[in-house]
């Protein structure tokens, strides 16, 4: 999908569909007034007859309106200006693209920037790009007869007045974010028999081929052995698929600048191992690599936008499987940090691969490390499917990530990382155990990781509830690519 900007009059712009707003009560937006005049009161007549009320997110599609160059006119209800907020703006944009996608129009010109939609024109344009991309996403690539791709290929952000100087950059960046989300969704939706650790590493190597500034390296199990990654290797023991430790180094900033490291959990299937999961919905554990997918999507996005920042992606990836040689409850392993871990539940495997990847990350002398993981079912109970769980060992970092989430409408919610929870991980036989009991499960998982991140500034995003949706709308969401990318954009701007 292509996005561009144009200044012009709505009656004169040639396009498959011109979109203008109507306020609740029937007042026409400025662009709609111009159309109405050109069309000899067609719009005001329809409103007077009650065909369009202007209620938020209602639509009326018109064909061959006399005096209008576009093939179609879409009237979109903007609601009451006083009731306009982020949620209503998203509803309006979703309805707009749903209606456009129901027509054969190949391109559309949206007059939504002048007034009425959203409090901030830039935010609205960004969300429009993401929603247009979301609605054109198809997850049926493995069906023998996939649905047709969306016909809408080009969206023009049109305005009566001169568009702001920054809008072009915003659109380019947001298109890159949408592409990154698409990659994260595609990888997330792939089944475990296709999306293996080897598949993910092949994709990371492909990004190296396409983008000059990305350098990918892949460590094999023998390399991890040498590094002493006993914790990571204990998880892959039961699997026939070789584990990989992928690193992608993006060098967009100057040489001396310390990188921001993103660490993504890449369990390509989580059966629970010997502590086997129950059967219901176990298929959804193919999504246990969505942290890894979000790192790949974010790396691709920043490379596409040529962000001036140094960023490293680190992806520990393997399967968690039961077998005759699989790790057993009670087994004790030594992590790369030297700390020993009693594995009381082999289903708490995410923290076991992440702790070694986090220790490994210190070698990049990071400015900041952020890990992203579908870590705990408890996070789904706590926050549902709306907010990511956020932890940080520095409050300024937490605030920056929360703000980036608000900006990108990919929101997180902070939970406490207090030492009061640490004793729950005490073990009689090792330096720690890998579970802390049912109470506060998301927090004790983060507390476990905190024991490996004392050397640097660090945050942890638990995306168990947000990385994918279940039921009828089953599918990966591409989150938190928007939050991560926005945070990196903000960091690059602050340099």
User: Which of Zn ion, Mn ion, ligand BES, none does residue 327 bind (CB under 5 to 8 Å by kind)?
Assistant: none
CB atoms within 10 A of CB 1: 16
Q: Look at residue 435 and give the partner it binds from Mn ion, ligand BES, Zn ion, none, a contact being a CB closer than 5 to 8 Å depending on partner kind.
A: ligand BES
Longest dimension (CA), the chain: 84
Cα–Cα distance between 288 and 464 in angstroms, integer? 8
112 binds ligand BES (CB under 6 A): no
Q: Using CB under 5 A, pick the residue from 249, 270, 356, 371 that binds Mn ion.
A: 270
| Region at 382 (left for phi over 0; alpha for psi -120 to 50; beta for the rest) | alpha
Binders of Zn ion among 236-275, rule CB under 5 A? 267, 270
Strand residues in 47-149 grouped as ranges (E): 59-63, 72-79, 107-111
356 binds ligand BES (CB under 6 A): no
User: Is residue 347 involved in binding Mn ion (CB under 5 A)?
Assistant: yes
By CB under 6 A, residue 440 contacts ligand BES: no
Q: Where are the alpha helices (DSSP H) in 102-229?
A: 121-136, 167-189, 197-210, 221-227
Residue 464 touches ligand BES, criterion: CB under 6 A: yes
Which secondary-structure segment (H or E) carries 313? Answer: strand 310-320
Nearest distance in Å: CB 434, ligand BES? 8
Is residue 273 within 8 Å of residue 234, measured between CB atoms? no
Q: Which residues pair with 264 in a beta bridge?
A: 372
Q: Which stretch binds Mn ion (CB under 5 A): 201-209, 219-227, 343-351, 368-376?
A: 343-351
Using CB under 6 A, which of 345, 414, 427, 490 touches ligand BES? 345
Q: Least distance from C-beta 278 to Mn ion, angstroms?
A: 12
Count CB atoms within 10 A of the CB of residue 115: 15
Taking the complex as a whole, the smallest distance from the CB of residue 421 to Zn ion amounts, in Å, to 20
Of 332, 348, 319, 373, the C-alpha closest to 434 is 348
Binding of ligand BES by 288 (CB under 6 A): yes
Residue with Cβ nearer ligand BES (72 or 265): 265
As beta bridge partners, residue 59 has 76
Q: So which residues are the catalytic ones?
A: 277, 351
Our finding on whether 319 is near ligand BES (CB under 6 A) is no
Point out the residue whose Cβ comes nearest to ligand BES: 377
DSSP 8-state symbol, 196: -
Q: How far is the CB of 441 from ligand BES (least distance, A)?
A: 6
Please report the DSSP string for 255-298 in residue order.
TTSPPEEEEE-EEEEE--TTSPPPSTTGGGGGGGGHHHHHHHHH
462 binds Zn ion (CB under 5 A): no
Q: Is 400 in the site for Zn ion (CB under 5 A)?
A: no
341 to 380, contacts with Zn ion by CB under 5 A? Answer: 350
Both tokens of residue 387?
């907010």
Residue 234 touches ligand BES, criterion: CB under 6 A:
no
Tell how far CA 465 is from the center of its chain. 12
Left (φ > 0), alpha (ψ -120 to 50) or beta: where does 440 sit?
left
Residues that bind Mn ion (CB under 5 A): 270, 347, 349
Residues that bind ligand BES (CB under 6 A): 270, 288, 345, 347-350, 374-378, 380, 435, 441, 464
Residues that bind Zn ion (CB under 5 A): 267, 270, 288, 350
């Amino acid at each position: 999908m292509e996005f561009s900007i144009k200044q012009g009059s709505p009656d004169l712009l040639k396009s498959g569909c011109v979109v203008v707003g109507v306020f609740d009560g029937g007042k026409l937006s400025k662009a709609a007034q111009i159309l109405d005049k050109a069309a000899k009161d067609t719009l005001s007549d329809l409103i007077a007859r009650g065909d369009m009320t202007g209620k938020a997110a209602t639509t009326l599609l018109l064909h061959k309106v006399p005096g209008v160059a576009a093939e179609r006119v879409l009237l979109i209800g903007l609601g009451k200006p006083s009731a306009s907020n982020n949620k209503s703006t998203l509803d309006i944009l979703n309805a707009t693209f749903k209606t456009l996608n129901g027509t054969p129009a190949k391109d559309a010109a949206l007059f939504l920037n002048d007034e009425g939609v959203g409090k901030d024109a830039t935010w609205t344009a960004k969300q429009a790009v993401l929603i247009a991309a979301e609605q054109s996403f198809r997850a049926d690539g493995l069906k023998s007869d996939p649905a047709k791709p969306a016909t809408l290929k080009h969206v023009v952000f049109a305005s009566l007045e001169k568009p702001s100087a920054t809008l072009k950059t915003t659109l380019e960046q947001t298109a890159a974010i949408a592409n990154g989300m698409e990659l994260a969704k595609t990888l997330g939706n792939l089944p475990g028999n296709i999306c293996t650790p080897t598949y993910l590493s092949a994709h990371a190597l492909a990004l190296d081929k396409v983008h000059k500034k990305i350098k990918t390296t892949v460590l094999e199990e023998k390399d991890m052995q040498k590094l002493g990654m006993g914790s990571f290797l204990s998880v892959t023991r039961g699997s026939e698929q070789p584990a990989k430790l992928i690193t992608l180094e993006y060098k967009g900033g100057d040489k001396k600048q310390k990188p921001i490291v993103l660490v993504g959990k890449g369990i390509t299937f989580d059966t629970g191992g010997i502590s086997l999961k129950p059967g219901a919905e176990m298929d959804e554990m193919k999504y246990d690599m969505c942290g890894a997918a979000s790192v790949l999507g974010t790396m691709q996005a920043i490379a596409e936008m040529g962000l001036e920042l140094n960023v490293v992606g680190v992806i520990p990836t393997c399967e968690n499987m039961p077998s005759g040689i699989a790790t057993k409850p009670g087994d004790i392993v030594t992590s790369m940090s030297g700390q020993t871990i009693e594995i009381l539940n082999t289903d708490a495997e995410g923290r076991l691969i992440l702790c070694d990847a986090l220790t490994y990350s210190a070698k990049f002398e990071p400015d900041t490390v952020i890990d992203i993981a579908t870590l705990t079912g408890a996070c789904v109970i706590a926050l549902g499917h709306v907010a990511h769980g956020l932890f940080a060992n520095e409050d300024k970092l937490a605030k920056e990530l929360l703000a980036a989430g608000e900006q990108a409408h990919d929101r997180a919610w902070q939970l406490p990382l207090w030492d009061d929870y640490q004793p729950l991980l005490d073990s009689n036989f090792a330096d720690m155990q890998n579970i802390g009991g049912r109470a506060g499960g998301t927090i004790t998982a983060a507390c476990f990781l905190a024991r490996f991140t004392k050397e640097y500034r660090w945050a942890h995003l638990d995306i168990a509830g947000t990385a994918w949706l279940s039921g009828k709308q089953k599918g990966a969401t591409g989150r938190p690519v928007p939050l991560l990318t926005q945070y990196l954009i903000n960091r690059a701007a602050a340099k």
